[in-house]
Amino acid sequence: MKQLQVIKMALAFFLAMTIAQCFGLQYTASAGIVGLLTIQNTRKETFQICLKRVLSFFLAFICAYVVFLIFGYSAMSFAIFLFIFIGLSFLGHLEDGIAMNAVIATHYLIEESMNLFWIQNEFGIFMIGLLIGVLINLYMPSQRTKIEQSLFELDQNIKELLVRMSTCLLKEQKQGSLFDEFENVLELVERMTKQTYAEVNNRLLNDTKYELQYLLMRKEQINVLKDIYDFIVRIDFVGNQALDMSDFINKMSFEYHENNDVEGLKEELSILKKHYQHDELPQTREEFENRAMLYTILCYLEKFLDLKSNFCGKGAYCMHSVS
């Protein structure tokens, strides 16, 4: 993507400058600079910054006209112009247009004139550069297929975490080696979120933010799993309840995919919860502490499933599981 942006910038400069020359304008290199600076990372950013720069252009024109009319054309008058123009730009949140339009205003200073010819000339080089930059930046190759593949890979990573958590629960001696894996997966989610934001901002006519909502939901689920694992590594007793819990987590790993609305899993978890409540009371302090942590894990698993269930319910994005 960076290579593509470099190509776009060079092309925008060349085309804008060439077209400005064809129209017989002066200072045509400035048209190329305007075109180059118009290239942004996304289409949405491009249109937003263009609007600000158009407003900034007219603000610079008014400030320059008033200052040069009163103080004449000199370095001091240009400094006064900059003081007023930059101050008003910050007040109006038009900072993106300061450098570009300050350069354009230097042409008035050099020519010591703001007659109709030079006003038309500056307007021409500004609009040619802006329009060429916008047109070139309309080409944004879609990253949707790549994002969908990344979402699938993310789910596979989480499935693997579930399998390893299920296995870890059955071990009496636990080392807590999965904590680094959780951090790696969370970093992956952050990278994917940035990539997805860019894609959403490039789809100007498509306001869907499904991928972002999906990533947010998965991130919350990962944090819940991290909390569950924190309890798992503290359990040093393997009983029937731990076996049942391990089996359920393992089952979750098999049914963990995008289109599972988890209603079946929630029903099974509810049955498991009732089964725990009717089990015999623990006989020792150690059993009591382990049972308490297992029940806490069960509650966290309920939260984990509710996150996916709520996601499906809000957007009706999910289909019933075919697992």
List per-block mean pLDDT (blocks of 10 residues) for the chain, which spans 323 residues. 84 94 94 90 83 94 95 95 96 91 94 94 95 88 76 88 88 74 89 80 64 88 91 78 86 82 86 74 66 85 90 57 31
Written as six digits, the tokens of 8 are 């776009």
* Calpha distance 235→36 (Å, rounded): 60
Where are the domain boundaries for CATH 1.20.120.940 in the chain? 143-314
CA torsion through residues 177, 182, 184, 185, sign:
positive
pLDDT reported for residue 309 = 87
Cβ–Cβ contacts within 10 Å for residue 136, how many? 20
**Helix and strand counts by DSSP (H, E) for the chain:** 12, 0
Phi, psi of 256 (to 5 degrees): -85, 100
Residue type, 52: K
Phi-psi region of 262 (alpha: psi -120 to 50; beta: other; left: phi over 0): left
CA distance 35 to 61: 19
Residue with tokens 């060429």: 132
Type of residue numbered 22: C
Sign of CA dihedral 260, 266, 269, 275: negative
What's the helix, strand, coil split of the chain in %, to 5?
80, 0, 20
Q: Provide the greatest CA pair distance for the chain.
A: 97
Q: Residue 238 has what pLDDT? A: 65
Exposed, middle or buried, 111 (CB in 10 Å: 0-12/13-18/19+)?
A: middle
Q: Which residues contact 128 (CB under 8 A, 6 or more apart)?
A: 16, 19, 20, 23, 25, 31, 34, 35
> What's at 115, amino acid-wise?
N
Which pLDDT does position 205 carry in this prediction? 55
DSSP label at 96? G
- Which two three-digit tokens encode residue 230? 């924190």
> What are phi and psi for residue 113, nearest 5 degrees?
-160, 145
Is 143:45 a contact under the CB 8 Å cutoff? Answer: no
Classify domain 143-314 at the CATH topology level. Four Helix Bundle (Hemerythrin (Met), subunit A) (1.20.120)
Closest CA to 85 of 57, 112, 124: 57
